[in-house]
Amino acid sequence: MRTQALAALFALSMASCASGPSNYTAGPAPATPPSPAARAGETVVILVGTPILLAFKIAVCAATVAIAGPLAAAFALTDGSNARDAQRVLGEGIASNCGPPYVFTPLATD
């Protein structure tokens, strides 16, 4: 029983690391709209940031699956609501880390 509790705690802690705060805001809106040069700069950031985002996303997704897969299999050997909850949380972590966005977009300043 203690092993199951430790495994559930580990799975939940991994899932909590995978998700960010849901109430994050970029800050106050600027008083004036961005200039054309600033918009061009954002375009460059998007073009440069997208391949880097994809490289990090692939690495993080692979690590998530490598950790969550065996944990889900271990939870499948147990029965009870804790096992189902842990598998659900692991699935949500994989969806969060391996799912969209696949294109880098700067934070909105509206």
Mean model confidence pLDDT for the chain: 77
As a whole number, mean pLDDT of residues 19-27 equals: 50
What pLDDT is stored for residue 102 in this prediction?
A: 87
Pinpoint the alpha helices (H) of the chain: 2-18, 36-76, 81-98
d(CA 39, CA 43): 6
As a whole number, mean pLDDT of residues 5-14 equals: 51
Residue-wise pLDDT tens digits, 48-97 = 989 999 999 999 999 999 999 999 888 888 877 788 889 899 999 999 99
3-state SS, residue 77: coil
What is the number of other CB atoms lying within 10 angstroms of the CB of residue 98? 15
**At residue 32, what are phi and psi to the nearest 5 degrees?**
-120, 150
Global pTM? 0.57
What pLDDT is stored for residue 9 in this prediction?
A: 46
What pLDDT is stored for residue 31 in this prediction?
A: 59
